[in-house]
Amino acid sequence: MRKGGKPVKRKVVFLSATVLLLLPACGRETMTEEEAGEVVEEFNNGDFRYSIKTEIEDPYEDPDVTSVGIGPEAPMEGAVIHSPYTEYLGWAEEERDQQGASEMFWYTVDGQLKYAMRINLTDGPQWMIAGVDTDRGGLDDYMDRSDPELIYDREEDGYTVFTAPFETQGQVSMYSLTGDEEDAENNPMLPYTCTVEYYINNDSRTLDRVVIDREEFGRICEKLRLMEVEGLSEEEAKAQAEETEDIIRMTTTIEFTDFNGDVQIDVPEELLDGTADTLQ
């Protein structure tokens, strides 16, 4: 109240309007989908290093079974040089001496992209494939590096997170699902769609990380298990697989570093000159 008994109204109205203007800004995304698309496009045309780590939760894993050689959860390391296109992907250094560890190279010779794979066997590393014409490298098996359909999802610890679907294929080990020796060689490749989360740094405006959720693949595996082991019909198995939490869960995290920095890939000379000896 002012002196004389007159109420103060205008100041209260002004402050309320200010609060109302601020509230929408608090819930607004830091980056639009169009801006995120530009960041991803720049990433796709850059040089960088990356690391891959996959985590697997298998409710049906047999604790008495010991795996031989390197497993899918072992960390991997890679690098990309955009022009001329060169990519390296292999198991992390601490894993490379294990049986089955491999190194893969995508490299350009006379304007033609080629592929080679070297695998660590019992008698040492051997080239399995060399000089085969191919598409762009191994990172394309994990995410869409052309034009992903980005959808704003959330803000998280200095990142704006977008999601995009990615159609891929997964190999199913029927033996691991059924435990039947007759399924030991039955490993079909099945199509599925995973969800890729793109973590874009709000300060540097760079793509720092992607996280890949393969829940649909886990539910496909559970449907097959219910059909083969429990004897359910395909319709019954699909319905039950959609509801249960007891599925194989696989999450892959890829971290990107040294974007447009001093990235080097040493392609072996025997690949460049075509003299690599292969087992094929």
Mean predicted lDDT score pLDDT of the chain? 84
At 227, list the tokens.
């059909």
Q: What is the pLDDT of residue 30?
A: 74
Q: Are 174 and 188 in contact (CB under 8 A)?
A: yes
Indicate if the pLDDT at residue 14 is higher than 70.
Answer: no
Q: What is the pLDDT of residue 15?
A: 41
Indicate if the pLDDT at residue 189 is higher than 50.
Answer: yes
The model's pLDDT over 100-112, given as tens digits with 9 standing for 90+, comes to: 888 999 999 999 9
Q: What is the pLDDT of residue 277?
A: 87
Tell whether the torsion through CA atoms of 23, 156, 204 and 84 is positive or negative: negative
Angstrom distances, CA of residue 198 to CA of 114, 206, 252: 29, 10, 12
Q: What is the pLDDT of residue 121?
A: 87
Helix or strand or coil: residue 187?
A: coil
Q: How confident is the model at residue 211 (pLDDT cuts 50, 70, 90)?
A: very high
Q: What is the pLDDT of residue 12?
A: 42
Q: What is the mean pLDDT of residues 118-125?
A: 86
Q: What is the pLDDT of residue 63?
A: 61
* Angle between the N-to-C axes of helices 215-228 and 234-243, in degrees from 0 to 180, rounded to the nearest 10: 140
Q: What is the pLDDT of residue 143?
A: 93
Q: What is the pLDDT of residue 97?
A: 76
Angstrom distances, CA of residue 157 to CA of 24, 27, 73, 201: 20, 15, 26, 9
- Tokens 């720092």 locate to 208
- 195 beta partners: 165, 213
The Cα–Cα gap between 130 and 116 comes to: 4
Indicate if the pLDDT at residue 152 is higher than 70.
Answer: yes
Q: What is the pLDDT of residue 197?
A: 98
Least confident of 55-59, 104-108, 192-196, 200-204: 55-59
Q: What is the pLDDT of residue 2?
A: 47
- H/E stretch holding 192: strand 189-201
Q: Are 181 and 167 in contact (CB under 8 A)?
A: no
In 124-209, where does DSSP find H-type helix? 174-178
At 247, list the tokens.
């599925």
